[in-house]
Structure 1
Amino acid sequence: MSNLVQLQSQDWPEPIVRVQSLSQSGSFVLPPTYIKPPSERPCHNSLQTNEVGDIPLIDLSGFDDEALRGGIFDAVGKACKEWGFFQVVNHGVSPRLMRAVKAAWREFFHSPQEVKEEYANSPNTYEGYGSRLGVKKGAVLDWSDYFFLHYRPHSLKDHKKWPANPSSCREETEEYNKEVVNLCGKIMKMLSVTLGLGEKYLQDCFGGEDIGACLRVNYYPKCPQPDLTLGISPHSDPGGITVLLPDDNVSGLQVRKGDSWVTVKPVSDAFIVNIGDQVQILSNGIYRSVEHRVIVNSGKERFSLAFFYNPRSDLLIQPSKLLVTPERPAMYQPMTFDEYRLYIRTRGPQGKAQMDSLKSTSNSTPPCNTMS
């Protein structure tokens, strides 16, 4: 282990080992810390996409055309109910920029270790270069490194905490985030309308323009025994919506469909979009955040960029009163997003355990009354 990078930190419960350094060590055996229980390994109930189909692919090129918009909105609403996931093409984000930002972050993760360590993070905010989620001592870890950065609110954004090398990284990441925020605005409008709410309803519940947004760049190095571990354990995303820029060269994302896991096949220049827990709460369970996980590969590394579009952290999120009826009472207790995400910061990915803990035990929970 002498050639592996270890960092002592008072914040993390154990020494931090970079997964990339494990991958490059030449070992053919996976360390016990990363070996999942048999029931959680990637071969368990996994399906190929041709067995049950893939997540829906939706063309947004007609978003501004009144004659085409209805069909697009309907397709999004159906995808949210049946899958909780969909892919979008012709989404308005420059394909050139998508490729450039992926190349910049690939270069960062291939830079000297001492360069990356300048951005080493802590569990307080996760901002920076990291290798684990959660601070539970003795947890079985995931086979991935990552870089997490804040984009909104502007008070949290600090370019000095973003990589300075390659020299294009900060500028291209800023431009990319700006374009993805615009895409998220379109998606929020579609979700709101398809729930039977006003166009701005969900956006207003998130804080209007004063939302939260962050980016996590995921790096999954080659793994000597990929059948024993996962890149990210099963979880649903705690925030509002997630826009994922996947690796075109290798599949890794798996989505739960019933009792099985479906491997998503990325489409060139497409984004993968999924519903987060906060939209499930606001929709009173009509739209569901779905468990997903990431598998790793023995012959190929993999990169992805996950953009999280979230409510303002201090706003109380609870079911919309327009979606609460005597037949469908409020399903979830109110909670701020700050309170909600502390769960994951403590325990790491835990499937749908956080959502289940929030289920209301009373039908008298006061619903959200934000109106557009």
Structure 2
Amino acid sequence: MELKVVKASVEKGEGLGWGKSLLVPSIQEILKNDSQSVPERYIQEPKDRPLISQNLFDSLQVPVIDFSMLAQKDANEIRKLDLACKEWGFFQIINHGVREETMVNMKAAMAAFFELPFQEKSKCAKAANEIQGYGQNFVVSEKQKLDWCDMMFLKTFPHETRNFKEAVEEYSTEIRKVSNKIDANLSVLMGMDENGLKRKLGEFQQGIRMNYYPTCSRPDLVLGISPHSDGSLFTLLLQDDEINGLQIKHKKVWIDAKPIRNSLVVNIGDAIEILSNGMYKSIEHRAISNEKKPRMSIATFVMPGDEVQIGPLDSMVNGKHLPRSYRNIKYIDYIRQKFAMKMQGKAHTAIVKL
């Protein structure tokens, strides 16, 4: 499937965007010349390396929510969602309404992009002051360890920021319908009506990050993506149906988020943690690589507008019993501070904690 990439405002390099990242080589291109070696800059410090072994916590499973039951306002499913947000910060949704054909086409479009010659992909390289485009983000030092991953990030909503082919547009449109329903349910769980968050925050932004994780001869030495939490309200991830790669930190232990065919993984982002006054926390997660097959994933980030002030909702603050734990901050200021740091767990959330 052909995927034509059209450069838009990302090529101008004008103004102060969300953040800048140092240019680094494409790991996909490095491996074309030598697929067996692991460059020193990708070898993680011993304390940060993944344990590629039998997971002692295989019995643990990220909660699964039946989205069709949520749509029917099923009390038990709403209770499951509340507990998943409180205790896990992650859940998988089934029967979500995104057509299987749409997901297949989106995966094919992404695969087509990463199969393009490097010179073609480079036409979509990130500008100096933006995170949108082809490359890597969160690279702030020439000495920091790099992730075993190439990525492409696109803003897909509002409409004027779109610059990609039909499959991606169709996918982002259907995902937006799902995100609107998640937003409505979170609004109710946080003591408002279904339109509470939209009334508070206005129209949401949406961005898609397409991740390509090549095979690695020594997956025990590298990380596909370093531990981090997302700066979004929440994130929806379309995983590879056959290959484990996503791991989440649950009660101080890394566990696999085992793929369920045609499901979407949803995780709470930093913005919801702040708005909920810490009741729903964004959770550290990472990606690991493997020796046998490349892995791809598609993360859709749902975010407030840049100029929106985020802080604990009145419904989530209750004097002495539930005092305010976060200060108010303009979303763009939070995101710029986040992108000024390398990925290091939840270190960036300290900037808003009281």
TM-score, length-scaled by structure 2: 0.90
CA–CA separation in structure 2 for the residues paired with 1:29 and 1:223: 9
- Which residue number corresponds to residue 193 of structure 1? 188
CA–CA separation in structure 1 for the residues paired with 2:352 and 2:41: 30
Q: How does 1:239-318 map to 2 (within 5 A)?
A: 239-318=232-311
> Partner amino acid for 1:264?
A
- Which residue number corresponds to residue 329 of structure 2? 335
User: C-alpha displacement at 1:316, in angstroms?
Assistant: 0.5
User: C-alpha displacement at 1:13, in angstroms?
Assistant: 7.2
- Which residue number corresponds to residue 63 of structure 1? 70
- Distance change in 2, residues 1:352/1:109 (3 Å): same
Equivalent of 1:137 in 125, 133, 142: 142
- Which residue number corresponds to residue 83 of structure 1? 88
Indicate conservation of the 8 Å contact 2:21/2:128, yes or no: no
Indicate conservation of the 8 Å contact 2:20/2:137, yes or no: no
- Distance change in 2, residues 1:304/1:15 (3 Å): closer
Residue 62 of structure 1: SS of its match in structure 2? helix
Residue 204 of structure 1: SS of its match in structure 2? helix
User: C-alpha displacement at 1:95, in angstroms?
Assistant: 1.0
> Partner amino acid for 1:25?
N
CA–CA separation in structure 1 for the residues paired with 2:244 and 2:31: 19
In the alignment, structure 2 segments of 5+ residues that lack a partner are: 1-12, 14-18
- Which residue number corresponds to residue 349 of structure 1? 343
- Which residue number corresponds to residue 50 of structure 1? 58
- Which residue number corresponds to residue 16 of structure 1? 24
- Distance change in 2, residues 1:58/1:48 (3 Å): farther
Task: Tell me the matched-pair count.
Answer: 336
> Partner amino acid for 1:343?
Q
Equivalent of 1:92 in 88, 97, 100: 97
- Distance change in 2, residues 1:355/1:342 (3 Å): same
Residue 354 of structure 1: SS of its match in structure 2? helix
CA–CA separation in structure 2 for the residues paired with 1:297 and 1:357: 35
User: C-alpha displacement at 1:28, in angstroms?
Assistant: 2.2
- Which residue number corresponds to residue 8 of structure 2? none
- Which residue number corresponds to residue 325 of structure 1? 318
CA–CA separation in structure 2 for the residues paired with 1:292 and 1:344: 16
In the alignment, structure 1 segments of 5+ residues that lack a partner are: 1-9, 163-169, 361-372
- Which residue number corresponds to residue 28 of structure 1? 36
1:125 aligns with 2:130: yes
Residue 155 of structure 2: SS of its match in structure 1? strand
Indicate conservation of the 8 Å contact 2:21/2:139, yes or no: no
- Which residue number corresponds to residue 183 of structure 1? 178
Which deviates more from structure 2 when the two are superposed, residues 343-352 or residues 239-248? 343-352
- Distance change in 2, residues 1:61/1:146 (3 Å): same
Question: Pairwise CA RMSD of aligned residues?
Answer: 2.0
Indicate conservation of the 8 Å contact 1:253/1:294, yes or no: yes
Identity %, equivalent residues: 37
- Which residue number corresponds to residue 370 of structure 1? none
Which deviates more from structure 2 when the two are superposed, residues 29-38 or residues 82-91? 29-38
User: C-alpha displacement at 1:103, in angstroms?
Assistant: 1.0
- Which residue number corresponds to residue 4 of structure 1? none
User: C-alpha displacement at 1:132, in angstroms?
Assistant: 4.1
> Partner amino acid for 1:181?
R
